[in-house]
Amino acid sequence: MNFFADYNNLALIALAVVSGGLLAWPAISRSTGAKSVNTAAATQLINKRGAVVVDIREPAEYAKGHLPQAKSAPLADLASRAAGLAKDKAAPIIVVCQNGQRAGKAQAALKEAGYSEIYALEGGIAAWQQAGLPLVK
């Protein structure tokens, strides 16, 4: 057989495997339980279901402006403070950071602490402000 023909076949197989993995990634990541909500859905969760808003930014960031009634629990302290965030572990929790990048780690910590319904605010505080929603200082 021709070495180059075998090499091309291996390259095509590798490409197919990588492509399939990339196509399957969204379904795999959803199955881990990580959920997110946009600003409209977050507002409904807060108003209709009494969702607890947990702001995981640093205290200085929180002081510059946060969602109304948000509890400050910086990501570094979240594991030790998780037990006191909500009376009911089944209550919905919305995790908020500056732009949505740190929320995944917070969701994992809260899930480990026993909370079952945890959402990340898509786009974080930046998206909240862009939607023209109120911040408290």
Task: Give the sign of the dihedral formed by CA 6, CA 7, CA 9, CA 14.
Answer: positive
Total residues found in the chain within this entry: 137
Angstrom distance (rounded) from CA 98 to CA 66: 10
Active site residue 120: no
Distances (CA, A) of 59 to 33, 73, 135: 28, 8, 15
Q: Which of 97, 109, 110, 118 is catalytic?
A: 97
User: Which residue is it, tokens 């965030």?
Assistant: 85
Output b/e per residue, 96-135; b: 16+ Cβ within 10 A: bbbebebbbebbbbbbebebebbbbbbbbbebbeeeeeee
What positions carry a catalytic annotation?
Answer: 97
